């Protein structure tokens, strides 16, 4: 009798730890958001579940900026482009007098962007084209291993969202194939997406510039041309999904109006489907923003989420932790 009660006591003591240890999403607070995501994954992947989806059709797509990592005060790729303008400036003395470059070199980013989209395009072309794909890969890899966020002082790859890393891992364990579908540059994400997210280059979809197969000193190279090829944003996202993946996802995560059509396309199909919006509500641990933000504006998608049946994640309420414990000083 005594032994029995000791066993029961010991069991009750360890039970929460066992439950906790087997929780695939430990950094998510208990609540309807976590339940709806875990429930969906369970329904489509548990063998014999009446809603089981064949493994080959378990396609999950994720926006990157603001969904898998931080996008404030501006996109990480913009930090990269500005740093690269400064790095390339010695080869371009004319930039000292010419906008949008002159303002960047003076450290006045706001003025440099006053030229709107044409200015942005000029910065992208000056910093992302004119290299081979192998060279650009190295430039991005070198930059991402060194650059740090101006406010948190973390490396950008340490500003990924821990709760989303848990989702990615749990999905892959449940037979899903996970894809990034981002408005960001496809070749800006590929050099580090596998190490950081576990998403290999061939599962990264993004915006691209045109490429050309050429020869340098008799060896073949793929040259990056100063010409836009594809913009993977808004209506471009379902198109990019069709071009790269060739079938409709059953699960989509986004955080801005740029993801509206991706979530719409994903959830308009037949069978079990889920669309999820990350709502940036936490002004202490990250930054709270939605309809009035220039970067990652979230308005229409948030308004229509209830009608569309999309789950809305409240970062402040639903995420116990935002970033991974920093491993790099």
* E strands present in 164-264: 177-185, 204-216, 219-230, 251-254
Task: Sketch the per residue contact string, 1 through 40, with a second copy: x for CB under 8 A, - otherwise.
Answer: ----------------------------------------
Q: Which of 284, 280, 325 is nearest to 27 (CA)?
A: 325
- Cβ proximity to a second copy: between 16 and 54 the closer is 54
Among 31, 32, 107, 200, binds a second copy (CB under 8 A): 200
Sign of the CA dihedral with 191 first, then 320, 175, and 240 last: negative
Among 44, 53, 119, 186, binds a second copy (CB under 8 A): 186
CB of 177 to a second copy, least distance (A): 7
C-alpha separations of 263 from 150, 181, 256 in Å: 32, 11, 10
Residue list 58-77, contact with a second copy (CB under 8 A): 59
- Cβ proximity to a second copy: between 107 and 198 the closer is 198
- Cβ proximity to a second copy: between 239 and 295 the closer is 239
Does 172 engage in binding with a second copy (CB under 8 A)?
A: no
Instruction: Give the whole-angstrom CA distance, residue 243 versus residue 222.
Output: 21
- With beta carbons less than 8 A apart as the criterion, state whether 89 and 101 touch: yes
Instruction: Give the whole-angstrom CA distance, residue 204 versus residue 200.
Output: 7
Q: Report the DSSP pairing between strands 219-230 and 274-279.
A: unpaired
CB of 9 to a second copy, least distance (A): 47
* E strands present in the chain: 59-62, 177-185, 204-216, 219-230, 251-254, 274-279, 311-314
CB of 181 to a second copy, least distance (A): 12
Task: Sketch the per residue contact string, 244 through 263, with a second copy: x for CB under 8 A, - otherwise.
Answer: xxxx-------------x--
Among 174, 208, 293, 321, binds a second copy (CB under 8 A): 208
Instruction: Give the whole-angstrom CA distance, residue 111 versus residue 313.
Output: 34
Residue list 212-231, contact with a second copy (CB under 8 A): 212-213, 219-220, 222
Task: Sketch the per residue contact string, 129 through 148, with a second copy: x for CB under 8 A, - otherwise.
Answer: ----x---------------
Phi, psi of 293 (to 5 degrees): -85, 140
Cis before 266 (ω within 30): no
- Cβ proximity to a second copy: between 64 and 281 the closer is 64
- Residues in the site for a second copy, rule: CB under 8 A? 56, 59, 133, 177, 179, 186-187, 190, 194, 200-204, 208, 211-213, 219-220, 222, 235-236, 238-239, 242-247, 261, 264-265, 268
């Amino acid at each position: 009798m005594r032994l029995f009660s000791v066993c029961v006591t010991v069991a009750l003591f360890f039970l929460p730890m066992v439950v906790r240890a087997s929780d695939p999403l430990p950094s998510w607070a208990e609540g309807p958001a976590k339940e709806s995501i875990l429930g969906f994954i369970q329904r489509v992947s548990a063998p014999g579940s009446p809603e089981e989806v064949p493994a080959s059709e378990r396609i999950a797509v994720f926006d990157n900026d603001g969904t898998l990592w931080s996008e404030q005060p501006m996109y990480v790729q913009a930090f990269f482009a500005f740093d690269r303008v400064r790095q390339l400036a010695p080869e371009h003395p004319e930039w000292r007098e010419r906008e949008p470059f002159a303002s960047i070199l003076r450290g006045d980013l706001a003025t440099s962007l006053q030229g709107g989209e044409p200015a942005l395009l000029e910065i992208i072309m000056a910093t992302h084209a004119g290299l081979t794909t192998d060279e650009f890969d190295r430039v991005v890899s070198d930059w991402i291993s060194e650059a740090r966020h101006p406010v948190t002082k973390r490396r950008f790859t340490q500003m990924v969202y821990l709760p989303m890393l848990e989702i990615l891992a749990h999905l892959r364990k449940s037979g899903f194939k996970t894809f990034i579908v981002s408005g960001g540059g496809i070749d800006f994400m590929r050099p580090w997406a596998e190490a950081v997210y576990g998403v290999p280059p061939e599962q990264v979809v993004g915006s691209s510039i045109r490429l050309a197969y050429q020869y340098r000193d008799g060896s073949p190279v793929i040259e990056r041309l100063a010409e836009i090829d594809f913009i993977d944003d808004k209506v471009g996202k379902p198109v990019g999904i069709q071009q790269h993946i060739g079938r409709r996802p059953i699960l989509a995560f986004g955080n801005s109006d740029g993801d509206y059509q991706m979530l719409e396309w994903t959830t308009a199909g037949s069978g079990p489907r889920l669309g999820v919006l990350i709502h940036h509500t936490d002004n202490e641990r990250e930054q709270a923003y939605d309809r009035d933000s220039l970067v990652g504006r979230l308005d229409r998608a948030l308004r229509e989420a209830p009608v569309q049946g999309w789950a809305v994640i409240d970062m402040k309420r639903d995420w116990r932790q935002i970033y991974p414990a920093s491993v790099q000083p």
